[in-house]
Amino acid sequence: MSQIATQKCFNHAGREAAARCPACGRCFCRECITEHEGRVMCAACLRRSVPPRGRGGGLQALLAAALRCAAGFLTAWLVFYYVAQALLRLPSSFHEGALWREIPWERP
Amino acid sequence: MSGAASSARARRRPAEPGALDVITDAFHLLRSAPLAVLAAYYAGAAPFVLAFLFFWSDMSRSAFAARRSLAAALGMALMFLWMKIWQAVFAAGLRDLVAGARAAWGWRRVARLAAVQTALQPPGMLVIPLALFLMAPFYAAHAFYQNVTALGDGSGGDVREVARRALRLATLWPRQNHVVIWLLSPWLLCAGMLAAFGAARLVVSLTPELHHMQGLLWFAAALMLIFLAVLPLAPFGCAVAANVAALLIVAPRMLHALLGMQTVFTLSGWHAVFNTTFLMSVFGISYLCLDPVMKAVHVLRCFAGEARRTGEDLLVELKRARRETERKYGAEA
The count of other CB atoms within 10 Å of the CB of residue B78 is 16
* Average pLDDT of the segment spanning B323-332: 75
Q: Does position A81 have pLDDT exceeding 70, yes or no?
A: yes
* Most confident segment among B57-61, B134-138, B228-232: B57-61
With CA atoms as reference, report the closest residue to A76 among B36, B279, B92, B123: B123
Q: Provide residues of A within 8 Å CB-CB of chain B.
A: 22-23, 38-39, 51, 61, 65, 68-69, 71-73, 75-81, 83-85, 87-88, 90, 92, 94-97, 99-101, 103-104, 106
**pLDDT (tens digit per residue) in B159-209:** 888 898 899 888 888 888 888 888 887 777 777 777 766 666 666 666 666
Of B55, B121, B208, the CB nearest to A72: B121
Predicted local distance difference test score (pLDDT) of residue B46? 94
Helices B69-99 + A58-89 axis angle, to 10: 120
Asked if A97 lies within 8 A of B275 by C-beta distance, the reply is yes
A39 vs B158, B277, B310: nearest CB = B310
pLDDT tens string A25-79 = 888 888 888 877 767 888 888 877 766 555 556 788 888 888 999 999 999 999 9
pLDDT band at residue B219 using 50, 70 and 90 as cut-offs? low
Q: How far apart are the first and last CA of chain A?
A: 83
> What percent of chain B lies above the pLDDT cut of 70?
83
Please tell me which of the candidates A22, A77, A95 has its beta carbon nearest to residue B73.
A77
Rounded to two decimals, the ipTM of the complex is: 0.79
Per-domain boundaries in chain A: 2-49, 58-101
Q: Are B293 and B180 in contact (CB under 8 A)?
A: no
Domain edges within chain B: 18-183
pLDDT at A1 over 60: no
* Highest mean pLDDT of the ranges B85-89, B180-184, B244-248, B282-286: B85-89
pLDDT at A32: 85
B65 touches chain A (CB under 8 A): yes
So what's the pLDDT on residue A72? 92
